[in-house]
Amino acid sequence: MADEDPFLWLEDVTGETALDWVRARNAETLEEMGRSERFTRLQAELREVLDADDRIPYVRRRDEYFYNFWQDADNPRGLWRRTTLEEYRKERPAWEILLDVDALAEQEGENWVWQGATVLRPGFRRALVELSRGGADATVVREFDLESREFVPDGFQLPEAKSRVGWINEDLIYVGTDFGEGSLTTSGYPRVMKEWRRGTPLSEAVTVYEGKLEDVAAFAYHDPTPGFERDFVGSSPDFYRVHKYLRTDGELVRIDVPEDAQTEVHREWLLIRTRSPWQLEDRVYEAGTLLAARFDDYLAGSRELTVVFEPDAHTSLEAYDWTRNHLLLTTLSDVRTELHVLTPAEGWRREPMPAGPELGVAQIVDTDPDSSDEFLVSTSGFTDPPTLSYGHVGGAIEVLKQSPERFDSEGMTVDQYFATSRDGTQIPYFVVRPRAEGGPTMLTGYGGFEVSRLPDYSGVLGRGWLARGGTYVLANIRGGGEYGPSWHTQAMKENRYLVYEDFAAVARDLVDRGITTREKLGTHGGSNGGLLMGVMLTRYPELFGAIVCQVPLLDMRRYHLLLAGASWMAEYGDPDDPEQWEYIGKYSPYQNVHSGRDYPPTLFMTSTRDDRVHPGHARKMVAKMRELGYDVRYHENIEGGHGAAADNEQLAQKWALLFEFLWSQLKC
């Protein structure tokens, strides 16, 4: 129980006693690893990759401009900037600087980290800019004038909180924030959504929707599409269920779909993606099906649905994006990307689109659903650097930008294999091997929240691991979304153990195939993947030569009481329920650290400013393992948020520590 936890004091995030402990552990880790010649080279090379001037500046279209946020050695906190398509086509575009975050941070004496901007449409004259201190999820919100390139005096502003904001028109916004007692959910997100009119105090904002205290969050947003202006409000009872309403003439009209279904409205169309089987009249739509209906007809009671996409045993829907007149589908077939364009006006006719390398990934970066059928698509593979292309549906595709190679991939091979999990399920995984055999192997995975891990390019991974002779393995275990919602839902709550059995099966398969040995097999993962690492450490230690555990959940007895943890109970279960704690407690890493075990050397990494996954998880785990005499190291970035790094310098250090630890521990 919590009152029996001798390391509870380490949950005091910024308490001096806890921070003294953190500083001491950081000093030990940096003394051991940070002074080696290899670490110094790694950090310098990774910083070079991260700051490279010839990286692709990924953009989003807003009216006539392409917007980009850029960080490099001269601008570590970043520049928010924009340019035109004509300029972007050039090797060195002329950029209009909108906001210099480094200059702002120096001017105001704050450790500002960019967290994004919501641009008013139509008009595109104003933006709601979000900035966080040190990279936390909590942000301050300020209104920004895109013409004068200045913050608006007496404009919309919010103090630091986990707020939710969005434009209705130039003088009216939706806002959910910390209005005082009872205005946030138990997960720390907005429970109450209000309309806030320009020139009035926040205290006079008008409530338009209230969720429940135990909900994850409430939301409200305005769709400004000309001729189809609509307002939606609602809340999420848990991470996977949504109650969504059309707000009209002072009343709320429920969009009557299954609670766990995802919906999107575009012009006259309603899209419904099922997460579990849905029986409607005499038909059952399987999980992962995408359905289309005319929105007004559906709200009026019609249930005339068109199946836009139907999954099978090998194929799932990864994403969908509207252009003005078409729907672009991104599908996965055994984790291999395919792109399709659908045309509603022609009976939802489907045609293929180019999709990049066979063992790679293609992603729709942006579209212009208001006014055109243009799209931006990025393609890459483990050894194929990214290419960004521009096109219009039905027309030619133009390459806009290509990234140069960040590492020498000549002679490297990419293969896909399948491991057999304990229950017989086939688990796919990718293996990237260097020219020479015999080096160490790094295995990673995630296995949660229906997040797919795809075979894309990483200059950091290539430079720090592959080019030095390491083998890289990406496991597509259950809990993710690689085979649609059922790949995730079958491994939730009481079936969570399947995630860990899958990952262990991949580790064993690597050895059985002769790809590596236990002594040369390292593994790493972060967040939910950090929980995965904690379970590998405590339940499958015989499989690994070294483990790196980043920004992890580990104390599953208390996770729901720490920061955003309550929002994840739909994924893991409620530890306060004895029946649910029965299965959670069997794998909870912090409760399963015992003396006399043969745990491999382990490095834990987290961030003080992570206000999503509490740093106390990693702190307490390390303290407990140290007390029992295990070979464990710890590094906590004092800033950086859930990504554990606020700028490229910190990011380079984080990756250099990870690689240096694995290189040194895997006897290479």
The Cβ of residue 535 has, within 10 Å, a number of other Cβ atoms equal to 24
Span between the terminal Cα atoms of the chain, in Å: 42
Q: Please give the C-alpha separations between residue 121 and each of 170, 192, 229, in angstroms, as whole numbers.
A: 9, 24, 11
Mean pLDDT of 214-234: 97
Mean pLDDT of 214-233: 96
Query: Which pLDDT does position 1 carry in this prediction?
Result: 42
**Tally of domains in the chain:** 1
642 noted as active-site residue:
yes
Orientation angle between helical segments 528-539 and 578-587, nearest 10 degrees: 70
- Of 346-355, 360-369, 406-415, 507-516, the range with the lowest mean pLDDT is 346-355
- Strand arrangement, sheet containing 290-294: 262-266, 269-273, 290-294, 306-309
**d(C-alpha 410, C-alpha 491), whole Å:** 38
Residue 206's identity, in one-letter code, is: V
Query: Which pLDDT does position 245 carry in this prediction?
Result: 98
347 falls within a domain: no
pLDDT classification of 2: cutoffs 50, 70, 90? very low
164 falls within a domain: no
Query: Which pLDDT does position 612 carry in this prediction?
Result: 85
165 falls within a domain: no
Q: What is the CATH number of the domain that holds 21?
A: 3.40.50.1820
542 falls within a domain: yes
535 falls within a domain: yes
Mean pLDDT of 445-451: 97
559 falls within a domain: yes
Query: Which pLDDT does position 641 carry in this prediction?
Result: 55
380 noted as active-site residue:
no
> Is the pLDDT at 234 greater than 50, yes or no?
yes
> Is the pLDDT at 473 greater than 60, yes or no?
yes
Q: Please give the C-alpha separations between residue 190 and each of 176, 318, 418, in angstroms, as whole numbers.
A: 5, 28, 43
Q: Per residue in 300-329, pLDDT tens?
A: 999 999 999 999 999 999 999 999 999 999
**Active-site position among 163, 389, 527, 588:** 527
pLDDT classification of 643: cutoffs 50, 70, 90? low
Query: Which pLDDT does position 638 carry in this prediction?
Result: 78
470 falls within a domain: no
pLDDT classification of 642: cutoffs 50, 70, 90? low
Q: Which structural domain, as residue segments, surrounds residue 610?
A: 2-33+517-665
> Is the pLDDT at 668 greater than 80, yes or no?
no
**242: closest CA among 222, 260, 256?**
260
624 falls within a domain: yes
Mean pLDDT of 287-292: 98
Query: Which pLDDT does position 540 carry in this prediction?
Result: 98
pLDDT classification of 370: cutoffs 50, 70, 90? very high
Average pLDDT along the chain: 95
pTM: 0.93
